[in-house]
Structure 1
């Protein structure tokens, strides 16, 4: 596991702030930030009309390692699905339509270039071997 230094954490916080601004300008309402349930975490939870939007923020200081969008592996998607399941349960929001978005940011000269990928991936069809497939909407 890579050790996170202060610069890395600061860059992540700045990226999340920039992502929140981007989402607000797009008309989404921020419901939660850095929401946790045990080891599960959601970067940003928004509302887009009636839809609950789970937003993963990927921030990089450069595009050298393939850019931020390459960091969303299948395992990460499964973890985000588990976290979304926990958020929906904690907020009794099972009837709400949901989607997963990804905001990818690359820092350049003190500013960020950003890409917002709406409906970036679907809920994992099965959370793990011990859970049946579910879809709350």
Structure 2
């Protein structure tokens, strides 16, 4: 991952922690792909895809989460749950879009991707 990507993931992490979530793992990688942030909100495991775009000229950050990217994320989440023996744990897959320049605009879509 490049430094710019890490910078926006750190911004996302701080934002989500301010919203009451706690970090479980950052940059989980497996054969299926990568999960930017694994967080916990109460008893729920929250997988977070972080997307940044400087402008919304081409649909913005949310448009960058294509159908194929969604499928890859779902496979990665299943892999994580299986690897950590959490197949019955309550979980969801969120997208946190960051746009613009500081001060950034955050758009947090909870349960944005489902099977």
Normalising by the residue count of structure 2, what TM-score does the alignment of the two structures yield? 0.92
Cα distance in 2 for residues equivalent to 1:48 and 1:94: 17
1:20 aligns with 2:21: no
**Corresponding residue of 1:87:** 80
Q: Which has the larger radius of gyration?
A: 1
How far residue 38 of structure 1 moved from its aligned partner, in angstroms, is 2.5
**Corresponding residue of 2:111:** 119
Tell me, yes or no, if the aligned pair for 1:58 and 1:104 is still in contact at 8 Å.
yes
Instruction: Name the SS of the counterpart of 1:121 in structure 2.
Output: coil
- The alignment yields a C-alpha RMSD, in angstroms, of 1.6
Specify which structure has the bigger relative contact order, considering alpha-carbon pairs within 8 angstroms and separated by 6 or more residues. Answer: 2
How far residue 39 of structure 1 moved from its aligned partner, in angstroms, is 4.9
Unmatched runs of 5 consecutive residues or more in structure 1 = 125-137
How many residues of Structure 1 are paired with residues of Structure 2 in the alignment?
Answer: 115
How far residue 11 of structure 1 moved from its aligned partner, in angstroms, is 2.7
How far residue 13 of structure 1 moved from its aligned partner, in angstroms, is 1.5
Return closer, same or farther for 1:103/1:54 CA change in 2, 3 Å cut-off. same
Instruction: Name the SS of the counterpart of 2:87 in structure 1.
Output: coil
Residues 34-77 of structure 1: per-residue CA shift (max 9 Å, x gap): 11012510000111111111100001122222100001111111
Unmatched runs of 5 consecutive residues or more in structure 2 = none
Cα distance in 2 for residues equivalent to 1:91 and 1:22: 26
Instruction: Name the SS of the counterpart of 1:94 in structure 2.
Output: coil
